[in-house]
Amino acid sequence: MHEMSLMEALVDLAEEEARKHQAQRINVIRVAVGALSHVDREALRFCFDAVTRGTISDGARFDMIDIAGAGWCLDCGKEVAISERFGPCPDCGHYRVQMTRGDDFRLIELEVA
């Protein structure tokens, strides 16, 4: 399960940032999770509880912001919504679509005390 290592790295980053600002506690960790990121959201939530236990993030709220998939179709010459990597353009059906959004997994906000 790669979600555990992702969550460990995310919590380490969040706690490092919180300490830089002399925070004693993290109340909220907010992340962007792309529809095409191959991250299992339920596994991520489970890992959050396990990784934060006994840390300054213990008991924090974990918010995930959904980022929709999008790509640039080289044949249509426009950005289109996509729901899978390497899939066809939903408008013209060609497979020359370069992903432009939706593979995110990043820390976007912390609320600390």
> From CA 33, how far away is CA 48, in angstroms rounded?
14
Could you give the CA distance from residue 110 to residue 106 in angstroms, rounded to a whole number?
Answer: 12
> Is this model's pTM higher than 0.75 or not?
yes
Number of Cβ within 10 Å of residue 47's Cβ equals 22
Pick from 3, 85, 9: nearest CA to 42: 3
The CATH number for 2-112, chosen from 3.40.1190.20, 3.40.1160.10, 3.30.2320.80, 3.40.50.720, is 3.30.2320.80
What residue segments make up the domains of the chain, in order of their start? 2-112
Distance from C-alpha of 16 to C-alpha of 39, rounded to nearest angstrom: 23
Q: What is the pLDDT along the chain (113 residues), one digit of tens a residue?
A: 589 999 999 999 999 999 999 999 999 999 999 999 999 999 999 999 999 999 999 999 999 999 999 999 999 999 999 999 999 999 999 999 999 999 999 999 999 99
